Structures are given as structure tokens and as C-alpha cells.
């Protein structure tokens, strides 16, 4: 397909995102093709590892291509989004659980769906242009694609901070927060990919000392509040306008749900549990949440002035995260 270059390269399976003009945004078809490639290589002894990268300097993958989800939801066809999210999450889980090394080289923007591809690889390489974020609360969604799993495992209150504000992380912060493993200058990436394909050995991946992590020394104690309202009050008391600005702009429902989900994910034993919880929200997002208004304001009309409709009370959050019954996300290994 035109949006991906999937091929064998010596001892490596190669997946390259090839939509640089669209910041390599992930479509439903791309998600399915990535999953199919991984399934095809799983038991192939000639493929010792998988390399995932992307064309262009600006982005590894800036998120999911949600135009079809938006237009479907506006037309009352919520199944378009539900099928996309379900298949995307199965692909995310396949990367996380893959029995062979998966090496992701993540330059530029790595956001939302991009984190779902690269953030679950066994070897996650970042460079000087890397900007990692989970900004979904700004469009009325939640950090999905296994994002709540990653946020829940970040040190201290970094997970709550990133989930509520959508703040971007450079290479040093991404490694500190557990969204990446290896820093390597991007000028050296092509040679490293060639060596990986030649040897089929990911254990000797080169690395350099990463840039300092600003998050390591930042006081994020305010994000220990029980509710978004408590967090806002603590930030106001501290005069932290940098954190308050996005929180005041983002969907109240999305932030309240994000706070609940990140904290719930700390008790999950497998990422599948986090993905299933995320799917309960995204399954309902186009019909019952702020998603359509958020996408309209940020992406379609670009007026940057969403009129959030959904309340952030406990009952609404519980309703968005309630069990879906027969519509629950299923997995290939479900009995």
C-alpha cells in the first residue's frame, strides 16, 4: 500500500510509514497492514527482528488519521470509529507482546497513535527532533493506544501531568518517563538500521547519553490531587500557569476520565487491560463524549474554540468507562 513500505531486508522485517506530508498519520488500513505484517513474520525464522521507522523529518507519526471517524460520527455511523479503535488497539498489543525484538526509530512528532506504534516496541530510539506527547484531552478523547498503561508507569506524578496537559517531551524526558529507551543522534540512524538488518541482533544497539530530563526536577506534586478540580486548585496556589493553560483549554470530561484511567492502569498486569478500558471510552466517544466538538474545533474548522458539552462529574466518567457487554474489546487469545 502507498502509505506503508513493508518488506524483508536481510534478517529484518521492515515497516516504514510513508505519509510524510500527512505527518505519517495512521489510518485504519495502515493499522491492519502493520498487524498483518507482524503476524506474517512471527514464525518466520528468517526474520530475527522488526524495524519500524518513517519517512520525513517532521514526524514519525503525529497521531491517528481521525477524519473518517469524525465524519462517520457526524453522520451517525459510530461503527467507523469503533472498528478503527478496536483494530488499532489489537495492533498496539501485538507490538507490545511480539516474541522478537521490535526496534522503533522515532523522529519529530510522536503523538497519540504514533506512541501506540513506537512506544510499545522493545527497543525505542529517539533523537534530537523527537517530541512525544499524548494530547488527546484537547480533542475530547483520552490517552489511548496503550497510553494510559505507559502514563501509569511513569515516575511520580508525571503520568497525570502528561495526560492532563498533553505536554511534549524531548528525548531526555521521553526516556525518563518510560516512553523511550535509547538516545542516538539521528544522523547515525541509517547506519544503525543497516547494521540491524545485516546482523539481526538488537542487543548491540548503539546509544549515547541522553539530554537532561527537565521532568526529573520539576515539582508535579499538585497532580496528586484526587480530582481535576483539586489539581487545578493546587496549581493555582503554586502559580503554575504553564500547566494551568492547557488544563483550562482541554475537555473537562476527558481530563477527569484520564485521571481515573491512569490511576486504574497502575493496577493492570497486562497492557490488554488498559487497552480494554480505553476502548470503553473511545467506543462511546463519537456518540456520548466531546470528541466530535474537539475535532471540529482543532482540526476541521480550526477555530481553537471548542464548546465542551460534557460534564466531568463522577457519574459521567463512570458511564463512559462502564463495561460494554458484548461490545467489549476481544483478543485473538480470548477463550
Domain annotation covers residue 333: no
Give the pLDDT of residue 290.
94
Identify the active-site residue in 53, 65, 88, 144: 144
- Please classify residue 191 by burial: count the beta carbons closer than 10 Å to its beta carbon, then call 0-12 exposed, 13-18 middle and 19+ buried: exposed
Structural domain that includes position 151: 4-208+220-320
The Cα 149–Cα 274 span in angstroms is 6
Identify the active-site residue in 13, 112, 113, 127: 113
Q: Is the pLDDT of residue 17 over 70?
A: yes
Domain annotation covers residue 330: no
Identify the active-site residue in 65, 88, 136, 160: 136
Domain annotation covers residue 213: no
Q: Cα dist. 316→52, 252, 288 in Å?
A: 38, 11, 10
pLDDT level of residue 101 (50, 70, 90 thresholds): very high
pLDDT level of residue 333 (50, 70, 90 thresholds): low
Radius of gyration of the chain (CA): 19
> Which of 82-86, 101-105, 300-304 is predicted least confidently?
300-304
Give 129's contacts (C-beta < 8 A, 6+ positions apart).
Answer: 57, 107, 108, 186
Domain containing 13 — which CATH number?
3.90.226.10
What's the number of domains the chain is made of? Answer: 1
pLDDT (tens digit per residue) in 212-259? 999 999 999 999 999 999 999 999 999 999 999 999 999 999 999 999
pLDDT level of residue 313 (50, 70, 90 thresholds): confident
Q: Is the pLDDT of residue 109 over 80?
A: yes
Q: Is the pLDDT of residue 335 over 70?
A: no
Give 110's contacts (C-beta < 8 A, 6+ positions apart).
Answer: 59, 60, 61, 62, 118, 119, 126, 130, 131, 132, 133, 174
Identify the active-site residue in 64, 108, 138, 289: 64
pLDDT (tens digit per residue) in 152-202? 999 999 999 999 999 999 999 999 999 999 999 999 999 999 999 999 999
2 part of the active site: no
The Cα 68–Cα 74 span in angstroms is 10
Q: Is the pLDDT of residue 307 over 60?
A: yes
144 part of the active site: yes
Domain annotation covers residue 327: no
64 part of the active site: yes
Domain annotation covers residue 259: yes
Domain annotation covers residue 137: yes
Give the pLDDT of residue 310.
66
136 part of the active site: yes
Amino acid at each position: 500500500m502507498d502509505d506503508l513500505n513493508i518488506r524483508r531486508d536481510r534478517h529484518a522485517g521492515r515497516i516504514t510509514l510513508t505519509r510524510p506530508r500527512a505527518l505519517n498519520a495512521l489510518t485504519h488500513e495502515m493499522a491492519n497492514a502493520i498487524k498483518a505484517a507482524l503476524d506474517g513474520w512471527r514464525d518466520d525464522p528468517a526474520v530475527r527482528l522488526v524495524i519500524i521507522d518513517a519517512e520525513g523529518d517532521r514526524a514519525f507519526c503525529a497521531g491517528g488519521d481521525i477524519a473518517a471517524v469524525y465524519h462517520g460520527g457526524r453522520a451517525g455511523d459510530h461503527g467507523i470509529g469503533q472498528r478503527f479503535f478496536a483494530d488499532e488497539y489489537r495492533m498496539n498489543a501485538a507490538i507490545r507482546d511480539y516474541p522478537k525484538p521490535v526496534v522503533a526509530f522515532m523522529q519529530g512528532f510522536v503523538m497519540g497513535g504514533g506512541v501506540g506504534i513506537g512506544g510499545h516496541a522493545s527497543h525505542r530510539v529517539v533523537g534530537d527532533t523527537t517530541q512525544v506527547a499524548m494530547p488527546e484531552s484537547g480533542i475530547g478523547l483520552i490517552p489511548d493506544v496503550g497510553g494510559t498503561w505507559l502514563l501509569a508507569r511513569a515516575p511520580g506524578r508525571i503520568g497525570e501531568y502528561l495526560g492532563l496537559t498533553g505536554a511534549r517531551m524531548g528525548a531526555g524526558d521521553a526516556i525518563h518517563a518510560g516512553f523511550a529507551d535509547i538516545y542516538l543522534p539521528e544522523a547515525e540512524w541509517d547506519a544503525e538500521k543497516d547494521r540491524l538488518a545485516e546482523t539481526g541482533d538488537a542487543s548491540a544497539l548503539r546509544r549515547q547519553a541522553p539530554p537532561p530530563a527537565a521532568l526529573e526536577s520539576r515539582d508535579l506534586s499538585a497532580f496528586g490531587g484526587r480530582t481535576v478540580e483539586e489539581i487545578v486548585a493546587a496549581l493555582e496556589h503554586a502559580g503554575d500557569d504553564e500547566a494551568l493553560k492547557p488544563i483550562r483549554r482541554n475537555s473537562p470530561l476527558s481530563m477527569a476520565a484520564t485521571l481515573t484511567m491512569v490511576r486504574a492502569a497502575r493496577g493492570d498486569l497486562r497492557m490488554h487491560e488498559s487497552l480494554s478500558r480505553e476502548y470503553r471510552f473511545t467506543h462511546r466517544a463519537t456518540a456520548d463524549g466531546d470528541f466530535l466538538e474537539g475535532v471540529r474545533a482543532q482540526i476541521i474548522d480550526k477555530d481553537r474554540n471548542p464548546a465542551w458539552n460534557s460534564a466531568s462529574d463522577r457519574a459521567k466518567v463512570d458511564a463512559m468507562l462502564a463495561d460494554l457487554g458484548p461490545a467489549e474489546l476481544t483478543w485473538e487469545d480470548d477463550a
